[in-house]
Structure 1
Amino acid sequence: MAQRDPHMTTRGPAAPALKGGGWHRLGNALKTTVLLAGLTGLVLVIGQRLGGAQGLMMAGLFAVVMNFGSYWFSDRIALAIHGAQPLSYEQAPWLHEMVERLAARAGMPKPKVYILPTAQPNAFATGRNPSHAAVAVTAGIMDILDRRELEGVLAHEIGHVRNRDTLIGTVAATLAGIISYAAQMLFWFGGSMLSRSDDDEGGGVAGALSNLGLLLLAPIAATLLQLAVSRSREYGADATGAELCGDPDALASALLKMERGAEAMPYDRAPATSHLFIVNPLHHGGVMSLFSTHPPIPERVRRLREMSARMGQRTRGRGGWEYAY
C-alpha cells in the first residue's frame, strides 16, 4: 500500500531554503494570541460564575493542567486516536526523502512519518515543536495524488510545524473542550449550582438566567474562536507550504482532488480532531460549512493560484524563484 510508486511528474525549479517569516507570520502570531486569550478568558469567566473566587482558581488550574498535558502528549494522542502506524524508510524511501528535503528547506529536523489506514486522501501534522513533530498521510492519498501534488501536501504540513500551528491547534481545541465540558456540567446538575450561587449573592432568578445564558452561549463563542484560529492557520500553512515546494499550483491541485475524495469517502473517526487535517475529513456542505474548521477550498485554491502567478512573474523577471513575502 505505502510501497506503491506514484506517477512521476515534471516540476519547476527547486525552491531554495525558506528564510524568515516577515510581517505575515508576525500578524498571524498576534491574531492567534488574541484568539487564544479569548478562549482562556471564557474558561476563567465560567469558572468564576460557577464557583466565585474558588471556581476561578479551579478553572485556571484546570486550564493549565490540560494545556500542559496537551503540550507534552498531543502528538501521541492524535496519532493513537487515528490508529497511525510508523512508515519505515524501506516501505517508501521516496516519501522519506521528500519529507527530509522539505524539512531541510524549512530549517528544521525531519519529522517522523506515519500512515493512517483509511481510504480517504488526507494528511495532518502534530507535535509540540519542530524537534518533536510527525507528519501522517492516509493510505488513500498515495493512490490519488502524484508525487508533485503529494510534495505540496507535505510542504503544507511541514509549514504547520514550522509555524508552530500544531501546538496552537491543540491548545485551542483543549480550551474549547473545557468550555463545552463546563456547559455539560450545567445541564448535568440541572442548574442547581448556578441558582444556589445567585441566591446566596442576592441575584435571584435574574442572576441565574444570566449565568445560564452565559453557559449556553460560551460553547458557541468558543467554537467560533477555535474556527478562527484553525482557518487562519490553514491559510498560513498553504502559503508557507507553497514557498517550501516552490509550486503553489501543485498544492492547489492536491486540495481539489482531496476535497472530492472527502466528499466520496467521509472520515468521521474522532471528529474533535478534524481541524488537524489539511482537508476537513467530515466534509459538511451547505450551511454547516460556516462552522467548518477549514476555510473553503475554492478560496484556498484562488490564493494559491495568485501566489503562483506572482512567483511566475518574478521567475521570468529575475531568472529564479522569488517568494511572495
Structure 2
Amino acid sequence: MNLPPLVRDWGPRALAVLVFLSAAYLIFVLTNLPVATRVEAASSWKAMRGEALTVGLAPETLGPERPVLSLNGPPGKDVSVWFDQARFGEETRRDLAALGFADTAAQSPAGWVSHAGGSGRAAVGVSLDPVGPRPALTLTPTGHGAVAEVVLRARDARMILRLEASLDPAAPEPELFGPNRAWEVRMSGAGGFPVEVVVPPGAYAVLRLPEASVGAADFRMGEVTAPDRPALLRAATLDVQVADEGKRLEACGAARGAIAWTTTDVPDAGCRPTLRVVDLKLARDGVAVEVNGLGFVAEDGEAAVLPLQKITDNPLISMVLGGAYAGLAAWAGRLLMRKRAQPQAAPDNSVVS
C-alpha cells in the first residue's frame, strides 16, 4: 500500500504514543478503581455530635412488621419520644376515641413519655414502610448534659414507631401528649396500651433517655431470623456525614471480588444488601453501629482500591509486568526517535546536447 509521506512518518509515532498512554492509563485504572473489601476494617462507624449516620436499605427487606431498630429501655428509667409531624395508627386512634379523644386523626406534633420509677421498662420499635426506591434511616446524635438523644428521620419511607411500657405500681403512669399538650392521656393498667405512631418521610422522631442509664438499655438493629442467630439488619449503604462537609465515611454493599469499573469513587447506586448491622450504641456524644460484610468503602474521600503492591508482591508477576512495560517503552521510544524518511529526488529528465 502506497501511503502518503505524512502518514508513513507520523502514523507509527502516533500509534506508539497511543499505546504507551493506554498502558499507563490501564495501570492507573487498575490501582484506582474501588474494590470490595471488609467494611469492618474501616474506622469506627460512629457519628459524633454534628454528624449523621445514615443506613440505606433495600425496599424488599422492609415492611411495617419488620423492625429496623428496637429499644428495650433501662429498668425504671425515663424514656421519651417526641415527633414534629406524625399521626396515630388506626388501632391507637380507636383506643383514644374510646377514652373520649375523637379528633386524633390529623398529622400533628406529639410526644410519649415513660417516667422513671419501679422496675418497669419502656419498649420502642421502629420499622420502615418504603414509598420510594432508596429508603434509608438517618440517626443524628443530639445529646446534651446528662441526656443521650438521637433524632430519627426516614428517606423514601414512612417511619412506624410502636411504643409500649411494662408498668410497675411504683412508677408514674406513662403519658401521651397531643400538639402543644392540647390533650394528654395517662396510661394505666397492666401495660397500659401500645401506641403506634406513623411519621411521614422527612419528618423526625427524637428518642431520649438518661445518659447514666444507657448501659442498661438494650438496643437491637433488625430482627432475629433464627434462634441461634443474633438480630441483624441487612443494609445496602452506610455513611457518616459531617454537616457542611460531606461524607467522612461511606460504604456500598458489594459481592466478594467486585470492582467498580465505571467510577473511582464509591458508587451511590446498585449497592447490594451485603452489609450486616448487628449492634447499636447510643451515648451523649454520639451514636455508633457495629457492622460487618463486604462493600466498596471510602474514608475521607479515599476509596479502598486494589493496591499495586498486592499485584507486584508475586516476584514472577512483578518480573513479567516490569519486562513488558520496559519492552513497551523501548518499542515506543524507537518509533518516536526513528529518523524521518527523506523524500526521493525527482528524476532528472533534462537532455544533454
State the TM-score bracket (shorter-chain normalisation).
Answer: under 0.3
Which structure ranks higher in relative contact order (CA pairs < 8 Å, sequence separation ≥ 6)? 2
Bigger strand fraction: 2
TM-score (norm 1): 0.22
TM-score (norm 2): 0.21
